[in-house]
């Protein structure tokens, strides 16, 4: 009896192999990046104190200008005796007034009849600077400004004839707590003194001259 030859696999084929078991774990996954949200807004720049200080200085100039105008009007009204109405039908005896000559060497000091003539004025500001200043010049009418002034500060003036007002306003230009003080003397006599404290503290000293 003849047997067939043994089975030989053909080229390019593979013998039967067992099927691999199913995977026991899920395939690895790529994690998503964490949600970052919208980009943060850039920080706001710090607010400058310049505009506020400018407004305060402008108000101080306006106040000084108004005080100067009021002082001039008061002085002029004091010099003008006004109009006196009389009855022409009545005979009024005019009193005799003796004229007196001024003493030689007399000057128009503080409180004299001739306001402002030759008076020595000293402005002083002390405290925690720097400050912005508004002060009346030697003509007693014109305000002048000075910024970023270190303390203590002192200004000496000799007033012109007809000056109506002396005034100085100091405004703290530095932030934070602090105090300032202003002072005015006329011919060595203190006529005004004020103090203030805090941020943008404002001290104003003024005196009308009659």
Domain parsing of the chain, residue ranges: 50-76+114-208
- Distance CA(15)–CA(5), nearest Å, equals 18
Q: What pLDDT, on a 0 to 100 scale, did the predictor assign at position 117?
A: 75
Q: What is the 3-state secondary structure (H, E, C) of 1-50?
A: CCCCCCCCCCCCCCCCCCCCCCCCCCCCCCCCCCCCCCCCCCCCCCCCCH
Q: What pLDDT, on a 0 to 100 scale, did the predictor assign at position 199?
A: 86
- Distance CA(107)–CA(179), nearest Å, equals 38
Q: What pLDDT, on a 0 to 100 scale, did the predictor assign at position 45?
A: 58
Q: What pLDDT, on a 0 to 100 scale, did the predictor assign at position 170?
A: 96
Spell out the per-residue pLDDT of the chain, length 210, in tens.
566 666 565 655 555 555 566 656 565 666 555 555 555 666 665 555 555 555 556 666 566 655 555 444 444 444 554 444 445 445 445 445 454 454 544 444 555 555 667 999 999 999 998 999 999 999 988 999 999 999 999 999 999 988 889 999 999 987 788 999 999 999 999 999 999 999 889 999 999 987
Please give the angle made by the CA atoms of 111, 112 and 116, to the nearest 5 degrees: 85
Fold type of domain 50-76+114-208: Immunoglobulin-like (2.60.40)
Note the pTM of the prediction, 2 decimals. 0.53
* Residues contacting residue 207 through CB under 8 Å, at least 6 positions apart: 165, 166, 167, 184, 186, 191, 192
Q: What pLDDT, on a 0 to 100 scale, did the predictor assign at position 34?
A: 53
Contacts of residues 149-152 at CB distance under 8 Å and 24 or more positions apart, as own/partner, are 149/125, 151/125, 151/126, 151/127, 151/180, 152/124, 152/125, 152/126
- Distance CA(182)–CA(121), nearest Å, equals 13
First to last CA, the chain: 159
Q: Are 119 and 113 in contact (CB under 8 A)?
A: no
Q: Are 159 and 138 in contact (CB under 8 A)?
A: yes
């Amino acid at each position: 009896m003849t047997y067939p030859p043994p089975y030989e696999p053909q080229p390019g084929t593979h013998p039967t192999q067992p099927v691999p078991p199913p995977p026991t774990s899920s395939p690895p996954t790529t994690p998503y990046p964490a949600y970052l949200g919208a980009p943060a807004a850039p920080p706001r720049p710090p607010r400058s104190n310049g505009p506020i200080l400018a407004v305060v200085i402008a108000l101080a100039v306006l106040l000084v200008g108004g005080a100067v105008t009021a002082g001039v009007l008061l002085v002029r009204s004091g010099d003008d005796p006004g109009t006196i109405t009389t009855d022409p039908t009545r005979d009024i005896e005019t009193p005799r007034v003796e004229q007196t000559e001024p003493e030689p060497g007399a000057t128009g000091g503080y409180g004299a009849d001739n306001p402002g003539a030759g008076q020595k004025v000293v402005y002083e500001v002390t405290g925690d600077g720097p400050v912005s200043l508004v002060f009346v010049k030697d003509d007693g009418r014109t305000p002048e400004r000075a910024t970023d002034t270190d303390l203590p500060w002192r200004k000496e003036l000799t007033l012109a004839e007809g000056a109506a007002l002396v005034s100085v306003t100091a405004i703290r230009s530095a932030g934070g707590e602090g105090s300032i003080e202003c002072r005015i003397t006329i011919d060595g006599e203190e006529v005004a003194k004020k103090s203030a404290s805090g941020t943008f503290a404002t001290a104003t000293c003024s005196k009308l001259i009659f």
